A and B are shown apart, each in its own frame.
Chain A
Amino acid sequence: MTESTVILALVVITALGFDFTNGFHDTANAMATSIATNALRPKVAVALSGLLNLIGAFLSVEVALTVTNAVVKIQNSDGTPKPSLTEHGGEALLIIVLAGLVGGIVWNLLTWLLGLPSSSSHALFGGLIGASIAGLGWAGVNWNGNGSKLDGVVGKVILPAIMSPVIAGVVAAVGTWLIYRVVTGVAQRFTDNGFRWGQIGSASLVSLAHGTNDAQKTMGVITLALIATGDWTDTKNIPLWVKIACALAIALGTYLGGWRIIRTLGKGLVEIAPPQGMAAESASAAVILASSHLGFALSTTHVATGSILGSGVGKPGAQVRWKVAGRMVAAWLITLPAAAIVGAVMWFLGDLIGGLGGAILIFVLLLVAAGYMYLRSRREPVGHHNVNDEWEGAPEPERVPAGSAS
């Protein structure tokens, strides 16, 4: 076993770890509203979402190998790694990818601890960007693409992040408004029952779409690492074991459920009634599907949050907690730079020691950070038992420094 094989193993484990955090970070996108309105019991909701993510991940057979090309320049356009990075068994590329993944995971865990729904794709891209800047300089990042199509950090990450929540919000607000207009005069118990079913259907669609979209990214990253070390050569396909491992990781993560985030999205933002929940999930599903068809990359988290906000705006007399929304937007803005900083620092630390020792150091630092945040989360656990407690008056499930908690 050579040095680069060991580093490769660390990269694969870390990538699967990222996929896992991606899963539990995003359970809320599909299921927060169904849980908040009691359409599904919390445990059932996460099980259903996990299963659909698993199925969804297998449906995504499209080659996701060029996933990093949108933001950094470590691959050629056919998916093979840049030759300059593959000397010495691809160590240079592996360290960049490893540092980037660690940046993504650390940010995902931190936002989870704070109960903030931030984008997992932004965390991954941010980490990769930071590690690439550290390893290759500013020119290692694909800032703007070449002007022939929507590409680069600006086109694939920043612009969609600004537009997608607005689009989803408008769709959800229109849907909610129409629904409430139509059902005036129908007894509430009758409508709530009906809309719960609609909610379950639309939320399931979001889960499925999530599995197809997000599991792909990790599959692409792992395959890239395998090609860099020469363990895989086919740029048209992804190894079956990678597909199975990624699908299981994202499904398990989803099943575990990011309860803190589910609570924020389901209870914190808007008091959701079943008709709003259905409007929000339908809007999310439609926007996610339409954009992936049109090649308009976006984050499911941004879409889901925009939809839920929109469902609050569209219901006459509903209360929207803009303070909570403001905190989320703040988290979105700093997700990419924050993950980038962690990624860059990790790369420098890894480079300082170099080789296998550097990779092991980064990996150990990740374990320490993850362990610490897990222990912190145990102080005020949020789980399926208390996810639906009243938002106001209940003990604050998360602590935010500087007194910004509402």
Chain B
Amino acid sequence: MSDNLGFALEGAWKVLFAGLILGAGLPLLFALGIRSLAWGAGGEAEVHESGVGGPKAQPIGTVIGWILFAIVLAGIVLGITFVVASGFGKALSFEHIYPTIIDKH
């Protein structure tokens, strides 16, 4: 029982850490992307006093927004690659910083 508890707690920390990075980090980037898009679009996309036109559009916001979305998308693609790879007995390695697919040890 105590052995198992130790193993479980050890695993739980790793899962929590990875979960926070991917499960809360990627949504955060996505939210920042939405915010940038709204800033880029201006007008009705942002909360402003009624009766007047909204803030001016900022084209750079649109660009930043889509860059952020691209990063999130890359994260999701990585996630799917991970599922597929582990199904075929491969694993994702971050040895070279960028992810590569390797054989499972």
Query: Which residues of A are at the interface with B, using a C-beta cutoff of 8 A?
Result: 56, 59-62, 144-145, 147-152, 154-155, 159-160, 163-164, 167-168, 170-172, 174-175, 178-179, 182-183, 185-187, 190-191, 194-195, 198, 201-202, 205, 208-209, 212, 275, 278-279, 282-287, 289-296
C-alpha gap A168/B47 in the complex (Å): 32
B residues near A170, Cβ cutoff 8 Å? 16, 19-20
8 A-B interface contacts by CB (under 8 A): A56-B83, A61-B88, A171-B16, A179-B31, A190-B37, A202-B27, A286-B22, A287-B19
Give B91 Cβ to nearest chain A Cβ, in Å.
Answer: 8
What is the number of residues of chain B that contact chain A, defined by CB distance less than 8 Å?
Answer: 45
B residues near A296, Cβ cutoff 8 Å? 8, 11-12, 14-15
Secondary structure type dominating chain A contacts: helix
Known contacts A144-B3, A185-B46, A294-B15, then 8 further A-B pairs from the complex at CB < 8 Å, ordered by chain A residue: A56-B83, A62-B86, A148-B3, A172-B23, A205-B79, A286-B22, A289-B83, A293-B86
Task: Tell me whether A293 and B27 are in contact (CB under 8 A).
Answer: no
Give B98 Cβ to nearest chain A Cβ, in Å.
Answer: 18
C-alpha gap A148/B6 in the complex (Å): 11
C-alpha gap A198/B32 in the complex (Å): 12
B residues near A160, Cβ cutoff 8 Å? 8
Q: Restricting to B1-36, which residues have a CB under 8 Å from any CB of A? A: 1, 3-5, 7-8, 11-12, 14-16, 18-24, 26-28, 30-35
Give the contacting residue for B79; candidates A167, A175, A285; CB below 8 A.
A285
B residues near A198, Cβ cutoff 8 Å? 27, 30, 72
Task: Count chain A CB atoms within 10 A of each CB in B28, B30, B35, B84 and give the residue with the most.
Answer: B30
Task: Tell me whether B87 and A212 are in contact (CB under 8 A).
Answer: yes
Task: Tell me whether A159 and B19 are in contact (CB under 8 A).
Answer: no
C-alpha gap A174/B21 in the complex (Å): 11
C-alpha gap A101/B104 in the complex (Å): 32
C-alpha gap A279/B26 in the complex (Å): 9
B residues near A190, Cβ cutoff 8 Å? 34, 37-38, 41, 44-46
Task: Tell me whether B27 and A178 are in contact (CB under 8 A).
Answer: yes
C-alpha gap A95/B37 in the complex (Å): 61
Give B21 Cβ to nearest chain A Cβ, in Å.
Answer: 8
Give B81 Cβ to nearest chain A Cβ, in Å.
Answer: 11
A residues near B79, Cβ cutoff 8 Å? 205, 285-286, 289
Task: Tell me whether B11 and A295 are in contact (CB under 8 A).
Answer: yes
B residues near A149, Cβ cutoff 8 Å? 7
Give the contacting residue for B24; candidates A191, A279, A292; CB below 8 A.
A279
> A178 and B11 in contact (CB under 8 A), knowing A61-B87, A282-B23?
no
CB nearest neighbor in A for B8:
A159
Task: Tell me whether A187 and B44 are in contact (CB under 8 A).
Answer: yes
Task: Tell me whether B4 and A208 are in contact (CB under 8 A).
Answer: no
> A294 and B38 in contact (CB under 8 A), knowing A172-B23, A178-B27, A187-B46?
no
Task: Tell me whether B12 and A175 are in contact (CB under 8 A).
Answer: no
C-alpha gap A155/B16 in the complex (Å): 18
Task: Tell me whether B47 and A185 are in contact (CB under 8 A).
Answer: yes
Give B95 Cβ to nearest chain A Cβ, in Å.
Answer: 15
C-alpha gap A160/B89 in the complex (Å): 24
Task: Count chain A CB atoms within 10 A of each CB in B8, B23, B26, B88 and give the residue with the most.
Answer: B23
Give the contacting residue for A201; candidates B12, B41, B46, B76; CB below 8 A.
B76
Give B2 Cβ to nearest chain A Cβ, in Å.
Answer: 9
C-alpha gap A150/B7 in the complex (Å): 6
A residues near B26, Cβ cutoff 8 Å? 282, 286
A residues near B24, Cβ cutoff 8 Å? 171-172, 174-175, 178, 279, 282-283, 286
